[in-house]
Amino acid sequence: MVRIAVLVSGGGTNLQALIDAQARGEINNGQIAAVISSSPTAYALERAAKANIPGYVVNRRDYADNRAMTAALAQQLQELDIGLVVLAGFMYVLTEELVHAYPNAIINIHPALIPSFCGEGYYGLHVHERALEYGVKVSGATVHFVSEECDGGPIILQKAVAVNEDDTPATLQRRIMEQAEWVLLPQAVSLFCEGRLSVEGRIVHIR
Ligand code: GRF
């Protein structure tokens, strides 16, 4: 059984999708063992408590920089015997120490079709604002392994979502969550825990 830690900073709807998938028996060979929040007030911590999942806070304000916070996180993850780290709306870019501690064992969900609308500064509603400004007709979500390059790691799953003429950043964000993120993330987590993912360079093979 792979012990999974979900790292969050906010509302935690993707965490909820994982909790619901686990309750339906759809996370094969994995168990959400910890939710770690960068903020003590994140609603995601309440979702964890309701599901009887231990919640922890690693508060960015307690550390001088991202590197010091990452080191604390890495230590906590190792103490908890975590085998898969899931970034589900985690607002900080983690430094390479964590990537080295968990090679191809950190998964991120990004609300666009990478390599479009990703990288530094592309988070939250900004992603959808830029997609609408650009005039794309489809956007979507990407689940990928985390590498040292922001949003640049090997892609596990992607799903396209239509952009509507009257979309606002908020309506597009919501539709991408409903139609893509909440579906893809539990699938990718289960594939990882089942040992069905292998990585060759940039390419993820799914058995
Ligand atoms: C999602 O859009 C996810 O793709 C991005 O951050 C957002 C988190 O939302 N990385 P939530 O906290 O899961 O509701």
Start-to-end Cα distance in the chain: 19
pLDDT of residue 78: 96
pLDDT the model gives residue 93: 81
- From CA 195, how far away is CA 28, in angstroms rounded? 10
Q: Which pLDDT value is given to residue 5?
A: 98
List beta partners, residue 85: 5, 106
Q: What pLDDT score was predicted for residue 135?
A: 98
Give the Å distance between the CA of 181 and the centre of ligand 1: 8
Q: What is the pLDDT of residue 92?
A: 86
pLDDT of res. 99: 95
For the chain, residues with pLDDT lower than 70 are none
The residue whose CA is least distant from atom 14 of ligand 1 is: 13
Q: pLDDT value at position 197?
A: 98
Distance CA 51, CA 105 (A): 24
Active-site residues: which are they? 110
Q: Give the model's pLDDT for residue 182.
A: 98
Classify 6 as helix, strand or coil.
strand
Does ligand 1 lie within 6 Å of residue 83's CB atom?
Answer: no
Residue whose CA is at the smallest distance from ligand 1 atom 1: 89
